[in-house]
Structure 1
Amino acid sequence: MDGGRWLVRFTERRQADLTLYCLPFAGGTAAFFRPWANLLPPWVDLCAVQPPGRQDRWQEAPHVALAPFVAELADRLATDLSGRPYALFGHSLGGLLAFETARELRRRGLPQAELLGVSARGAPHLPAPRDRLHLLPDEGLAAALVAIGGIPEEIRRESDLLAFLLPTVRADLTLSETYQYQEEPPLACPLSVFGGDADPLAAPDALHQWRRHSDGPVQIHLYPGHHFYISDFLTAVVGALATDLSGTALSWARRGQASHSHRRVG
């Protein structure tokens, strides 16, 4: 594990052309992205984000506000980047965190992402849902998580396990549901937006409104299913993301050639 326990690499691809930083959903862990390591092409270095409050970081308090989370993650990424092109991807809450991390890195004057991938998250400028899950009592929150596919019914019946999991989920939902969008210029990088066509939390129209947040090309990828459609279409999603990433390869090559030409002339 790298980056002060924030960053997890399941395979070593230090010679890869691009690093893909992936952020999990509310209550999720870096392990959610472990299967991706065998699905991504070898030129992509997969690096999953492990937020505090889960797995080997379970003794750390999870963040309940977005700004401190993003600032701390940006510190880790700034150290990890080492000048290599990178992209960001996140599912659900992870999509929002990826977006705000991209903006924070831009505010710091660091190189911008080659691509931002967002899954199962409506555009950030849209009003928050009226249902505030983080305010529900434990039983109500557990029922809501089962309903959207966030946890299986079996876990709901395991009171000890549920008592261990819910505080982290509640903290993440607090972060998500108290988020307040602040207007900034659109990102310059392409956007790849993914979602389920029957997701009650991120309807197709809300996904299409991500177009407002990039001056680059925006690809919308819809699949049959609900909020966790990605579990049924993982190979397809990773393949589509890899294709979109490969579309930026020409821009890397052009920049590299321009830099090489400049050095020769100078």
Structure 2
Amino acid sequence: MEPRQRRWFLREPSPDARMLLLCMPYSGCGASMYRAWPATIGEAEVVPLQLPWRENRMREPHFGTYEELAAALLDDVGELLTSRPYALFGHCGGALPAFETVIGIAERGLPAPVRYFVSSQVAPQDGPWGRFLGLDDQGLRDEIAGLLTAMGAAASADELVDLFIDVMHADLEANRKYFRPAGTVPCPITALGWDDDVEVPHRLMGGWQAWAPTDKVVLPGTHYTFLDAPSALVRVLADRLTLGSGSLAP
């Protein structure tokens, strides 16, 4: 019997993958934003997550809050996390729902991820943070146009901006509502900053150390450099997604 196709994946993870890297999309975007990433990094298969109200799930309502998103995701894919090691990655507006998923995993008693990778985002006790949160509609439309260009779309694709704008508004509202006092999670954290990132300067990311042992890496690039899976980022991920004798590297 063919494995069922979960709505959270563009394609089901390979049953032969030794490890999974679950990648949460950026605010306003869907799983296809990871199309430039390799299929595998280190020993992990790259698995972009698809969220409701975008791309092939456009007919579904918005997830609401990060807590509701994490609960719905784990209701459907939680059993998958018991079958092999896995890690989570999130950048900026995708980092906080990914982290709320880590918290939900711990609350449900599921096996902990081997690592959580956070890129360009402050810790939840230090937010919400970000210039996008205070933009008016036109300012947000301009930023979406820039994001689409960075993702390879035509700069003049106004119809694409129209598709993104409502999703972006709802995602930013979820960001505004999200706050957690510092606590603990049962996995190490790698905090990834970018030396030319003016949206979330890497110096603001120190709060992640309150949650778990954290190593911080500053990479060359801007806020959107991660979209192209630059070699420096892939190396950092691969070095920490190597299965050894029951432990992470490094």
**TM-score with structure 1 setting the length:** 0.81
Secondary structure at the aligned position of 1:63 is classed as coil
Instruction: Report Cα offsets for 1:163-188 as digits up to 9, x if no partner.
Output: 2221111111111122122443x123
- Cα RMSD of the aligned pairs, angstroms, is 2.6
Counterpart for residue 10 of structure 2: 8
Matched residue pairs, number? 244
- The answer to whether the 8 A contact 2:189-2:215 is kept is yes
Aligned residue identity for 1:24:
P
Instruction: Report Cα offsets for 1:15-50 as digits up to 9, x if no partner.
Output: 222111110100121112233334524x31222110
Counterpart for residue 237 of structure 1: 233
Summarize the Cα distance change of 1:50–1:213 in structure 2 as closer, same or farther, 3 Å threshold.
same
Counterpart for residue 188 of structure 2: 190
Distance (Å, rounded) in 1 between the aligned partners of 2:68 and 2:62? 11
Secondary structure at the aligned position of 2:118 is classed as strand
Distance (Å, rounded) in 2 between the aligned partners of 1:77 and 1:99? 16
Secondary structure at the aligned position of 1:36 is classed as coil
Instruction: Compute the displacement of 1:91 (Å).
Output: 1.3
- The answer to whether the 8 A contact 2:191-2:215 is kept is yes
Instruction: Compute the displacement of 1:99 (Å).
Output: 1.0
Summarize the Cα distance change of 1:61–1:249 in structure 2 as closer, same or farther, 3 Å threshold.
same
Instruction: Compute the displacement of 1:78 (Å).
Output: 0.8
Higher helix share: 1
Aligned residue identity for 2:10:
V
Secondary structure at the aligned position of 1:4 is classed as coil
- The answer to whether the 8 A contact 1:13-1:44 is kept is no
Distance (Å, rounded) in 2 between the aligned partners of 1:239 and 1:76? 31
1:44 and 2:44 matched: yes
Instruction: Compute the displacement of 1:207 (Å).
Output: 1.9
1:222 and 2:218 matched: yes
Counterpart for residue 168 of structure 1: 167
Larger radius of gyration: 1
Counterpart for residue 85 of structure 2: 85
Counterpart for residue 177 of structure 1: 176
Counterpart for residue 94 of structure 2: 94
**TM-score with structure 2 setting the length:** 0.85
Counterpart for residue 53 of structure 1: 53
Distance (Å, rounded) in 2 between the aligned partners of 1:88 and 1:232? 18
1:251 and 2:246 matched: yes
Instruction: Report Cα offsets for 1:216-244 as digits up to 9, x if no partner.
Output: 3x221212332112135523212211101
Mark the runs of 5 or more structure 1 residues left unpaired by the alignment.
Answer: 254-266
- The answer to whether the 8 A contact 1:155-1:161 is kept is no
Instruction: Compute the displacement of 1:121 (Å).
Output: 1.0
